[in-house]
Amino acid sequence: MGGTTVYRSSFWRTFWTNAVMAPRTSLGFMRVDFVLGTVFVIPLTQMVFFAFVVQLSAAGAPGAAASIAYTAVGNAVATVTYSSVFSVCQTTDTEKQQGTMEHLLVSPANRLALYFGRGLIPILISLATVTVGLTYAALFFGVHIPLSSVPALAVSVVLTAFAMVGFGLLLGGIALYLRTSIILGNIFLFIGLLLSGVNFPASQLPISLQYIGDGFPLTWGLEAIRAAINSESLASLSILWAAVAIAAAISFGAAIGLWEIFERRALSTGSIARF
């Protein structure tokens, strides 16, 4: 009586609602063929392609087997970009195309819970993709993964999955201001292959490109995974884990910041048409 009650959905209700519904709507992850292809087929085909290229270029040269193993690990991890970057980035397009963006802007949903909820399923798929990719690397490409390194490797994979999904959400935040996110996702998909030390050490790049590559979470995540496989010291791993965690935090924070700016501008003008 005499007052206005503003409904605020709880953080966890918003989180779990988005975690369950986003795969069915904006992410499209509930298709069985998509999940199976992303987890089991894409890692193997990409690893075989680049390993074959390395084999042809290094045929008869000393260290060819090590180069193939290096490439196999790099691509086992890089395939995470399909579920964590490319697909997550396209959620912006889906919201606009389905006409749900306007409803989302005026909803009382907690924005932090919304972003983290949408990232849950991609994180799980990313974990599965990297795990399967590393299994392929061990079975078919001569990569030796000591049992003693598995705990550190697991931590590295989990942190990398979080960081890459955060980066995908960041690109999705940038795509709020663009007509489409497909081109943006493709650009960063292949830039990661070039600058993040996937097929060759990033140290072989010009210094300027190395600095650019250091801005990508994939670079640090891949370095942490390689360090874990090589059973490097806990001190070295801790530094890399901290770098991956920082990259994840920056990506999630920047994504939420871009969303808030977009929301204010859209609400002030009453339209998202200009975006």
- High-pLDDT (> 90) share of the chain, %: 55
Which residue do the tokens 């306007």 mark?
102
Out of 108-112, 207-211, 265-269, the most confident range is 207-211
Give the Cβ contact number of residue 77 at 10 Å.
32
Q: If you average pLDDT over every residue of the chain, what do you get? A: 88
Are 19 and 121 within 8 A, CB to CB? yes
* Token representation of residue 253: 């924070």
Q: With left for phi above 0 and alpha for psi between -120 and 50, is residue 31 left, alpha or beta?
A: beta
* Token representation of residue 203: 């140290």
Its pTM stands at: 0.91
Q: How far is the first Cα of the chain from the last one, in angstroms, to the nearest whole number?
A: 40
Binned at pLDDT 50, 70 and 90, residue 62 comes out as confident
- Written in H, E and C, the secondary structure of the chain is CCCCCCCCCCHHHHHHHHHHHHHHCCCCCCCHHHHHHHHHHHHHHHHHHHHHHHHHHCCCCCCHHHHHHHHHHHHHHHCCHHHHHHHHHCHHHHHHHHCCHHHHHHCCCCHHHHHHHHHHHHHHHHHHHHHHHHHHHHHHCCCCCCHHHHHHHHHHHHHHHHHHHHHHHHHHHHHCCCCCCHHHHHHHHHHHHHHCCCCCCHHHCCHHHHHHHCCCHHHHHHHHHHHHHCCCCHHHHHHHHHHHHHHHHHHHHHHHHHHHHHHHHHHHHCCCCCC
Whether 2 shows a pLDDT value over 60: the answer reads no
Whether 78 shows a pLDDT value over 50: the answer reads yes
